[in-house]
Amino acid sequence: MAILMTGDNRVLVHGITGRYASVQVPEMLRAGTRIVAGVSVGQGGSRVHDVPVFDTAAEAVAATGADASVVYVPAAGVRDAIFEHVDAGIRTIMVAAEFVPLADSLQALAHARRHGAWVIGPNSLGLISPGVGLLGSIAAGFCSPGRVGLISRSGTLTLATTRALTQAGIGQSTAVHVGGDVVCGRNPSEYLTAFAADPDTEVIAYCGEIGGTKEYDLIEHLGSVAKPVAALIVGRSAPPERRMGHAGALAGAARETAQAKREALATAGAHLADDPVHLTGVVRALLQ
């Protein structure tokens, strides 16, 4: 079982002729992803990695039945790409670009929500359901099938944690990088709810960080989740008022610090960890 992705998904890659996609598409194919179409304006009728290329998402969906997508276009093109995919009927969209203009994100993500579409990102490594498929660039070799659902605000922590879990013999049902921009398509609490409803996810692991209030939104939903949640918040040594890594990681108030979030999560019933290796130990104990 996996959230947001099954072996039946038919995936479209927007920007498939670009340099970044040229590296990631073969990796997604090796991970089992059914990539049925690419989109690249002016390249319609060609093939890349033996995948047919179309000029628009609407043409690609009509010809192939694509129902999920990966967007590899520059930040300035993300708004139009999301609108195009949603209007074509795609309901799971992964966006890699970071620093998408805020107004563009607000408009496109609101449009997606109105139509019931789920956007992973922007500024995301994507989502992987080991043994099922990959949307994005999470290292499939770091992952293995299992019973732990991983939600992460950090791309680096997504990689480090999946690798630590796998090396410890603990597999994942799905691992997802929510995205690093200030505004993302879905919040950690929504992924928490999705994992809570997945019958094959037994433990949920959360990797958070300083900055923003996403952890507090997640805390509000913890009480309705029967499954145990292990939580790691990084940035305990971060200098005040300094952005760490990406747009969303900036503690602008006391409640946005790592210590404040750790205390709030512990009070809400989450099982705290100090680093990815410690998180692996916590998860193992919860599985047992």
Which 8-state DSSP code applies to residue 33?
A: -
In the set 111, 177, 246, 271, the catalytic residue is: 246
**Dist CA 193 CA 168 (whole Å):** 26
Report phi then psi at 204, rounded to 5. Answer: -110, 130
Report phi then psi at 207, rounded to 5. Answer: -115, 110
Question: Pairing between strand 133-136 and 92-95?
Answer: unpaired
**Dist CA 179 CA 60 (whole Å):** 26
- What is the secondary structure of 35-98 as a DSSP string? EEEEE-TT-TT-EETTEEEESSHHHHHHHH---EEEE-S-GGGHHHHHHHHHHHT--EEEE--S
- Return the structure tokens found at 278: 């410690």
- Residue 12 CB contacts under 8 Å (≥ 6 apart), including other chains: 35, 36, 37, 38, 39, 57, 60, 61, 64, 66, 68, 69, 70, 85, 90
Q: Is 271 an active-site residue?
A: no
The residues annotated with a catalytic role in the active site are 246
